[in-house]
Structure 1
Amino acid sequence: MQNTTYWDNIAERAVDGLKSNLDKHGGQCALSWDHQTTAEWRVDLGAIRSIHHVSIQYVTGNDEWDEDNWYTRTFLGFSVYVSYTTNKEDGVLCFRDTSYTRATIPNPVNISCPYHGRYVIYYNNRTHPPYPAGYHEYAVTYLCEVEVYGCPTTGYYGENCSLPCLKNCTCHILEGTCMGCLPGYKGPRCTKECDDNTYGLECMGSCGNCSNGEQCHHVDGSCPSGCNAGVHGKACNEGIHNKSKLYFNLTYKLD
């Protein structure tokens, strides 16, 4: 998905494995329309994945990538997120460019991103002028290939993704250190289930509307005996103003 699409240069071209022609019109890159203040592209990995890093190959026009290449200006200021949802604000910021120049920005660029999530999101904006020297005045996505590397299954770490993480823990893909708990669990070693009418990631979901004051399911927020009068939905939080925010972070290499 990308928020705008330049002609037929659809978002899927950035994950089709093709990067032999890096020209804007070469048919292998995902392009957004120019004259936009924000540009966003994302890929759905299909499930929660354990990420190590993200590699991004940008449009070059098949010219040498240096400070004289026109496309360098369009890449400056970009960000990469991973998230459980399609909303980048619900996820983790892996990288935000604040120091690259047209002479120093690499292409391809490798972004370390040792997190968990389902969506990898590329974002750039031109919403707060004036911009640093060398920046293109508009936000665009000129992505020829985005590759996400890591373990295909959560719960493991190590060079061959063969070492198990602590139970109910999302661990660092290389070191195995616990970086947070799986949805429904809390505590320093993620051994305690959510309670006090909470559920989900970091126990941030609110489910205080279960019938008879029962505690909801610690993972998905469902109520064992249904909802109080006036509310409905799986977590009995529809029909009321719900400010809870559920999120998480992750990904892997697309084959």
Structure 2
Amino acid sequence: MYRAVYLFCWYCVSHGFSFVTSYENIALNKAVYLTYDSVRKDTNVVVDGHKFIYGQCLSMNGRFELLIDLGEILSIHHITLYIKNSGLWHDFDIRVSNRSDSLDNECGDLRRIRQARYEYYIPCSFHARYVSLSGFIYGTIDLCEVEIYGCHTLGRYGENCSISCPQNCQEGHCDVVEGTCLGCINGYEGPRCGKECDSGTFGRECREICGKCKGTNTCHHINGTCMEGCIPGHSGLQCDQECLNGSYGKNCEEMCGSNCISCNAVNGVCDNGCNLGWEGDFCEQKCDKNTFGQNCTGVCGKCLKNEQCHHINGTCLHGCDPGFSGIKCDQGCVNRSFGRNCREMCGSNCISCDAVNGICESGCTPGWKGTFCEQKCDNNTFGQNCAAACGNCLEKEQCHHINGTCLHGCNPGFHGPHCDQGCIDGSFGKNCIERCGSNCISCNAVNGVCDLGCRAGWEGTFCEHECPENTYGVGCKDSCGNCTNMERCHHVSGNCPFGCDAGVYGIKCDQECPHGRYGINCGQTCPSNCKGCNRFSGVCKFGCLDGWRGTYCEDIGRYCNLN
């Protein structure tokens, strides 16, 4: 709209038409600043009110910025420039703002200025304090006057600025022509800000949304205050703050359960769970039924007599059942301990014991027996589980309960550390230190009696006697031969050491002389005329050959056969 007005008015002034206005020149004698060739200086000739005839003009070329300070924010309707120029091209930009360092509202621009005395009309319906003309001049122009028309009094509009702006206009600003508000104070809307904000909105231009108000959810249209308070879970004048710091309910006046992690802002239910050791909708119940900890998911250990453990950390307040230890009684007894809190020790002779009652359920170390392995092996047993039998300890003494050794030696007939080895190699007696008789075939290991008999030529309990006269050999059961002069034969072999009596021969003199022999050792030959002689005397007891006679058939007979 502004550009159309500008073109129309430019056309009018350029052809000699005058523009009648009832607005006031609010730039007259106001402060003016110029940046020209990088030099900033005061230059009030452009607002002295004299225009072309009486006044002075400001000559400018190159890049420039002219800043007029109205002293306060005023209502502007339009701007008129009075310019003389050299016929070159020029480029103006006209802006307004409430700040000198940020001119963000553009009123219009002048792209070409002709030679002549011209008035330039620029529509500029704004509320502002500062008006800026800036641009670049190709050549030189003379700016003779800048007139800014509007209302000297804030909050007025219309011809002669005689009408007050609507009361709800923001900062009293309204359109200088129409009187429409350029913005509303909080709580109002509409062209003239005559309408309160609709239900559910408030504040500047009714853009704010009411908080969580109770009732109809309607807040005060200006400041957003909830007139009837807040719905549960919210607080603050505008009910725009959720309950926090452990509060809930109406106006957040109630406090979450002390054991809640955080509670529902509306009803206080601990919907994010409970602190350690608590449960229930409001975390009002301690963990029970042998549970503890977060959400009561931990399981108590073996507390004494099944007592409930501490609801928070699971510790057993009065100790542990037998067989368990630790502050939570969740550790079985170790290192040969047992009983309540594992304070008792297994018997020193246990391999391992029951953690509850200390019974040596895995058995005893060698040499011990009993429920608690407190008894030494007895009844002639020793070793692992007392399963081994003692040897033949002296006088049936109990052997060592662990290794089975006989502490005071062995019964006769046995030897070795355990007295479990019978005597061997011709030994007998206590610890087998005595030797069997040398003539025993084998002797009794206990008493040395030659119970298996004697060697040949010996007799007696211990084979200590040679065979009696006329006997020899094993058991002295053989009879001696006819040794010479009735001498005794050898008791072992039966030999006659000095030869034989008459009529026998051989080393034992037990063989009769063969036919034709007689005498000692059968050393003589029977007479030649004998049919056979006495083996002892040589007498021809079987008669003589024919023609012979006599004891030895040494005589020729009477009736000899001479043929």
| TM-score, normalised with respect to structure 2 | 0.26
| 1:2 matched residue in structure 2 | 34
How far has the Cα of 1:193 moved from its partner? Answer: 4.4
State the distance in 1 between where 2:162 and 2:102 align: 30
Is the 2:82–2:117 contact (alpha carbons within 8 Å) kept by the matching residues of 1?
no
| 1:203 matched residue in structure 2 | none
Match of 1:118 among 118, 129, 136: 129
| 1:163 matched residue in structure 2 | 163
One-letter amino acid of the structure 2 residue matched with residue 80 of structure 1: I
**Higher RCO structure (Cα 8 Å, ≥6 apart):** 1
* Match status 1:15 vs 2:47: yes
* Match status 1:57 vs 2:89: no
Based on CA coordinates, which of the two structures has the bigger radius of gyration?
2
How far has the Cα of 1:93 moved from its partner? Answer: 0.7
| Secondary structure of the structure 2 residue equivalent to 1:59 | strand
| 1:31 matched residue in structure 2 | 59
Q: 1:79 to 1:5 in 2, by over 3 A?
A: same
One-letter amino acid of the structure 2 residue matched with residue 160 of structure 1: N
* Match status 1:108 vs 2:119: yes
How far has the Cα of 1:16 moved from its partner? Answer: 1.4
Match of 1:95 among 98, 101, 108: 108
One-letter amino acid of the structure 1 residue matched with residue 109 of structure 2: R
How far has the Cα of 1:188 moved from its partner? Answer: 4.6
Deviation per CA, 1:29-50: give whole Å up to 9, x if none: 2234x3x3x3110111111111
Is the 2:77–2:124 contact (alpha carbons within 8 Å) kept by the matching residues of 1?
yes
Deviation per CA, 1:149-205: give whole Å up to 9, x if none: 1111121211121222222342211111223347x8885565764598xxxxxxxxx
Q: 1:29 to 1:186 in 2, by over 3 A?
A: farther
Is the 1:9–1:30 contact (alpha carbons within 8 Å) kept by the matching residues of 2?
no
RMSD: 3.7
Q: 1:102 to 1:20 in 2, by over 3 A?
A: closer
Is the 2:67–2:130 contact (alpha carbons within 8 Å) kept by the matching residues of 1?
yes
How far has the Cα of 1:6 moved from its partner? Answer: 10
Deviation per CA, 1:23-82: give whole Å up to 9, x if none: xxxx712234x3x3x31101111111111111111134xxxxxxxxx2x425x3212112
How far has the Cα of 1:106 moved from its partner? Answer: 7.8
| 1:82 matched residue in structure 2 | 96
One-letter amino acid of the structure 2 residue matched with residue 12 of structure 1: N
| Secondary structure of the structure 1 residue equivalent to 2:88 | helix
Is the 1:48–1:118 contact (alpha carbons within 8 Å) kept by the matching residues of 2?
yes
Alignment of 1:129-168 (within 5 A): 137=138, 142-166=142-166, 167-168=168-169
State the distance in 1 between where 2:69 and 2:187 align: 25
| 1:243 matched residue in structure 2 | none
Q: 1:2 to 1:119 in 2, by over 3 A?
A: same
Q: 1:181 to 1:117 in 2, by over 3 A?
A: farther
Is the 1:50–1:114 contact (alpha carbons within 8 Å) kept by the matching residues of 2?
yes
Gaps of 5+ in 2: 1-32, 197-201, 209-563
Match of 1:40 among 51, 65, 83: 65
State the distance in 1 between where 2:187 and 2:120 align: 35
One-letter amino acid of the structure 1 residue matched with residue 132 of structure 2: I
Deviation per CA, 1:124-156: give whole Å up to 9, x if none: 13xxxxxxxxxx546x77311101111111212
State the distance in 1 between where 2:179 and 2:52 align: 36
| 1:73 matched residue in structure 2 | 88
Deviation per CA, 1:71-98: give whole Å up to 9, x if none: x425x321211211113533x1111235
State the distance in 1 between where 2:169 and 2:92 align: 33
Q: 1:3 to 1:14 in 2, by over 3 A?
A: same
Over the matched positions of the two proteins, sequence identity in percent amounts to: 33
| 1:175 matched residue in structure 2 | 178
Deviation per CA, 1:222-244: give whole Å up to 9, x if none: xxxxxxxxxxxxxxxxxxxxxxx
Q: 1:41 to 1:152 in 2, by over 3 A?
A: same
| Secondary structure of the structure 2 residue equivalent to 1:180 | coil
| Secondary structure of the structure 2 residue equivalent to 1:176 | coil
State the distance in 2 between where 1:164 and 1:20 align: 35
Is the 2:157–2:179 contact (alpha carbons within 8 Å) kept by the matching residues of 1?
yes
Q: 1:21 to 1:159 in 2, by over 3 A?
A: closer
State the distance in 1 between where 2:134 and 2:138 align: 15
Q: 1:42 to 1:8 in 2, by over 3 A?
A: closer
Gaps of 5+ in 1: 61-69, 126-135, 197-255
State the distance in 2 between where 1:113 and 1:156 align: 16
State the distance in 2 between where 1:185 and 1:143 align: 46
| Secondary structure of the structure 1 residue equivalent to 2:34 | coil
